[in-house]
Amino acid sequence: MKVAVLGAGAWGTALAGHLATRHDTKLWARDAALIDSLSRTRENTRYLPDVKLPAALAFEADFAAVLGHASADDALCVVATPVAGLRELCRASRQAGIVPAHFVWLCKGFEADTQCLPNEVVAAELPEHRSNGTLSGPSFAREVGLGLPVALTVASASAELAARTVAAFHHGAMRIYTGDDVVGVEVGGAVKNVLAIATGISDGLGLGLNARAALITRGLAEMSRLGVALGGRAETFTGLTGLGDLILTATGDLSRNRTVGMQLASGRTLDEILAALGHVAEGVRCARAVLSLAQSRGIEMPITHVVCRVLFDNVTPRYAVQALLSRDAKAE
- Does residue 326 surpass a pLDDT of 90? no
Asked if residue 332 is part of any domain, the answer here is no
> Is residue 245 domain-shared with residue 207, that is, in the same domain?
yes
On the CB side of 283, how many CA atoms lie within 13 Å of its CA?
30
Asked if residue 147 is part of any domain, the answer here is yes
Give the pLDDT band (50/70/90) at residue 243: very high
Based on the residue annotation, tell me whether 108 is a catalytic residue of this protein. no
pLDDT tens digits, one per residue of 263-291: 999 999 999 999 998 777 899 999 999 99
- Does residue 20 surpass a pLDDT of 80? yes
- Does residue 330 surpass a pLDDT of 90? no
Which pLDDT does position 280 carry in this prediction? 74
If residue 323 lies in a helix (H) or strand (E), which one and from where to where?
helix 317-325
> Is residue 21 domain-shared with residue 98, that is, in the same domain?
yes
Which pLDDT does position 327 carry in this prediction? 82
Give the pLDDT band (50/70/90) at residue 6: very high
Domain boundary residue, one of 165, 180, 195: 180
DSSP symbol at 1 = -
Domain boundary residue, one of 146, 180, 214: 180
d(CA 67, CA 71): 6
Sort strands 58-60 and 2-6 into parallel, antiparallel or unpaired.
Answer: unpaired
pLDDT tens digits, one per residue of 97-128: 999 999 999 999 999 899 999 999 999 999 99
Asked if residue 306 is part of any domain, the answer here is yes
Which pLDDT does position 153 carry in this prediction? 98
> Is residue 194 domain-shared with residue 303, that is, in the same domain?
yes
Q: What CATH number does the domain containing 129 carry?
A: 3.40.50.720
> Is residue 123 domain-shared with residue 261, that is, in the same domain?
no
Asked if residue 105 is part of any domain, the answer here is yes
How deeply is 329 buried, as exposed, middle or buried, from its count of CB atoms within 10 A (0-12, 13-18, 19+)?
A: exposed
Q: Could you give the number of structural domains in the chain?
A: 2
Give the count of beta carbons closer than 10 Å to the beta carbon of residue 325.
Answer: 9
> Is residue 246 domain-shared with residue 202, that is, in the same domain?
yes
Asked if residue 330 is part of any domain, the answer here is no
At residue 279's C-alpha, the angle toward residues 204 and 164, to 5°, is 115
Q: What are phi and psi of 131, to 5 degrees?
A: -90, 75
- Does residue 292 surpass a pLDDT of 90? yes
Task: Write the DSSP string, 30-96.
Answer: S-HHHHHHHHHHSEETTTEEEEEPPTT-EEE--HHHHHHHT-STT-EEEE-S-HHHHHHHHHHHHHH
d(CA 166, CA 29): 24
pLDDT tens digits, one per residue of 246-261: 999 999 999 999 999 9
> Is residue 299 domain-shared with residue 207, that is, in the same domain?
yes
> Is residue 212 domain-shared with residue 131, that is, in the same domain?
no
Mean of pLDDT over the chain: 96
- Annotated catalytic residue, options 52, 108, 192, 330: 192
> Is residue 24 domain-shared with residue 123, that is, in the same domain?
yes
pLDDT tens digits, one per residue of 188-217: 999 999 999 999 999 999 999 999 999 999
127-131, 231-235, 278-282: which range is least confident on average? 278-282
Q: Please give the residue range of the domain that contains residue 256.
A: 183-325
